[in-house]
Amino acid sequence: MEGVFAVIFIVFNLLLLPYPSFSLPLCTDSRAPLTVSTKLEFCSYNGSSCCNSTDDSKLQKQFQAMNISDPSCASLLQSVLCARCDPFSAKLFTSDSVPRPVPLLCNSTVSTNSSQSNQATNDFCSQVWDTCQNVLILNSPFAPSLQGQAGAPVNSNFTKLTELWQSKTDFCDAFGGASTAGSICYDGEPVTLNETGTPSALHGLCLEKIGEGNYLDMVAHPDGSNRAFFSNQQGKIWLATIPEVGSRGTLELDESNPFVDLTDQVHFDTTFGMMGIAFHPNFAENGRFFASFNCDKGKSPGCSGRCSCNSDVNCDPSKLRLDNGDQPCQYQSVIAEYTANGTASQPSSAENARPSEVRRIFTMGLPFTSQHGGQILFGPTDGYLYFMMGDGGGGGDPYNFSQNKKSILGKIMRLDVDTIPTFGLRNPWRCSFDSERPSYFMCADVGENLYEEVDIISKGGNYGWRVYEGLYPFDPTSSPGGNTQVNSISPILPVMGYNHSEVNKKVGSASIIGGYFYRSNTDPCMYGRYLYADLYAGAIWAATEDPENSGNFSTNTIPFGCARDSPLECSTVPASTLAALGYIYSFGQDNSKDIYLLTSSGVYRVAAPSQCNYTCSKENVTAVASPSPTTSPPSHANQLSPVILLSALLLLMAGLA
């Protein structure tokens, strides 16, 4: 019963992403812009817009009802109303989280750190005043008070600006503003952002090997120290100390003494296991942490969640086929809470935790044995726990769970009320928030047989699966759950990705691994770029956004080599200069914002470019400290048996691809 209650609770408490603080394209309802196939009739927006034809028609009726007699003023007011359709309307119509009746009108010369490219010296606010000040407007949008400033009271619905505001200065103090590096304003035309110019050239990603262990997840300690938690698929979590960059130290991790051992609760077998860990932002005070894993209801009494194939989503579990010989919903996805309280004087100093659950947050039966995601993480601004859920497997999402809003498969969820989840995802594998711009929530979504993608996640966004696989229409081989018509959805296209043929000619042999925006100073030429990779370790990509905060990315594959002073031996691929990583499972980030690769051959950290003889014009090579003599790795360095290594490989080859 507890599992059923958890499912019901989750369904009614879903995703609401944090409101953006930067000029990422978003609409006033915090959703991503739509792709408009034909130009709107009233508002001059095509391509990407926050309006559909219905919205366009409503704006036209509002404009006609204003009954503006002066053609020049009418033209300006039309553009002001149509700013609702701008892909950046969320920022234009919001000031200090307060909704605005009209967009922020540009009213000063563009500053040197402006984010806009076409504002120049255009004082659009003055233009509106000068053109419309003595024109009668019915139900003027400039009549309401704004930001504590109010116009003069009037006794008629027909008003002039001069009847509402004493002067141009008062008017533009209320409705105007300048574009800055973190904001935008409206100048009468669709918003465009400055090109940032050619970024620093990338010659490669230098990697130093600091650990021999084989892990699926890494989470920086919430206390801000140089410690981090590492977990494996079998169900163990370790607390490790990370060596300083340039010290040639190795990861201090005692395999014989895990922080907590949950292997008795976790069902581990190829595509199953512990998928993610998350530590409460206030863990140092409250000792709370969470694990996302799979259980087997045939072996665990607490593995009793409701089957995700149920009457609510028009699915009958008795009609599902066996998957690899297993019954439908025999295996479940679980999120459980644990505590480190009582194991030390302060949770921040705890080196062990209790393996007994404090409470079960979520339990749900899985229809098939693959593509169930499972990552969990805390939002950096809202404190909510985010849960990344795959489509449940079965090949091509045969029951169309991802497009069914009543199903929580193929969704990203958090505990909240009266909202719908982000959906249309196949198997999200590794999502992250940008540490400098929390509104950038990036998720890699593993494809079926053709395309791997990265999406910027927004509230209620539909990312297309299974109507689309990335950029391409998808034709399922089996559709017992029905189909979603292409013209019935407005999918948000991926911002980056790659075809399978780009990395491997073998069908299906590609699987994306989502990463992070690089925010460390260790490699200054990598700063601000988003890193992601493929499971099979043949390629790593660096994505550059230009203009900044536009959501437009260009990507390049980059070579990745071994640092010449790597603390542990870092071998290369035969007949190649690429580091021999084996399989890449996940990326990690520590409290210093340094980036790590968790691979089948060990733990690697991004090092200074000069350590691989890569040229970076921004790197101060003379400031790089001389490495100390090589130190032997601690005797308790984590070593995994070949059996465990093989099992971990099977997880990602069978479950992610």
Domains, the chain, ranges and CATH? 26-92+102-108+120-192 (no CATH), 205-612 (2.120.10.30)
**C-alpha to C-alpha distance for 630 and 633, rounded to whole angstroms:** 9
Contacts of residues 46-49 at CB distance under 8 Å and 24 or more positions apart, as own/partner, are 48/87, 49/85, 49/86, 49/87
Annotate 330-398 with DSSP letters as a single string. Answer: SEEEEEEEEE-TTSSSSGGG-S----S-SEEEEEEE-SSSS-----EEE-TTT-PEEEE-----SSS-T
Q: Which of 569, 628, 603, 621 is nearest to 247 (CA)?
A: 628
What confidence score (pLDDT) does residue 118 get? 60
Distance from C-alpha of 406 to C-alpha of 312, rounded to nearest angstrom: 7
Distance CA 557, CA 515 (A): 14
What is the pLDDT at residue 179?
80
Residue 482's region, left for phi above 0, alpha for psi from -120 to 50, else beta, is left
**Quick one: which of 456, 364, 465, 377 has its CA closest to 414?**
377
CB 104 within 8 A of CB 127: no
Report the relative pairing of strands 94-95 and 98-99 from DSSP bridges.
antiparallel
Question: Residue 488 carries which DSSP code?
Answer: G
Separation between Cα atoms, residue 294 and residue 291, nearest integer Å = 10
Give residue 414's pLDDT.
84
Dihedral Cα 117, 122, 124, 130, nearest 10 deg = -170
pLDDT at 200: 73
| pLDDT given at position 508 | 58
Q: How far is CA 214 from CA 355, 358, 484, 591, in A?
A: 21, 28, 40, 21
Cβ atoms < 10 Å from Cβ of 578: 19
Task: State the Cα angle at 387 between 338 and 496, rounded to 5°.
Answer: 140
Contacts (Cβ under 8 Å, ≥6 apart) of 81: 43, 59, 62, 63, 141
pLDDT of the residue at 108: 72
Q: Which residues contact 600 (CB under 8 A, 6 or more apart)?
A: 214, 581, 582, 583, 585, 645, 648, 649
Q: Which of left, alpha, beta for 56 (phi over 0: left; psi -120 to 50: alpha)?
A: alpha
Measure the CA–CA gap between 298 and 489, rounded to whole angstroms. 39
- Predicted pLDDT of residue 13: 45
Q: Quick check: 213 and 586 in contact, CB under 8 A?
A: no
pLDDT average per 10 residues of sequence, the chain (657 residues): 41 42 79 84 90 95 96 97 95 83 83 63 89 94 63 66 92 87 85 79 94 97 97 98 96 96 96 96 94 96 94 94 91 96 91 95 94 95 92 94 95 64 87 95 95 94 95 92 91 94 77 98 97 93 93 95 97 95 97 98 98 93 48 38 38 45
- Residue 638 is predicted with a pLDDT of 40
Q: How many CA atoms lie within 13 A of 327 on its CB side?
A: 9
Closest residue by Cα to residue 30 from 85, 89, 103: 89
SS3 category, 482: coil
Q: Please give the pLDDT value at position 589.
A: 98
Residues 251, 629: Cα–Cα separation, whole Å: 16
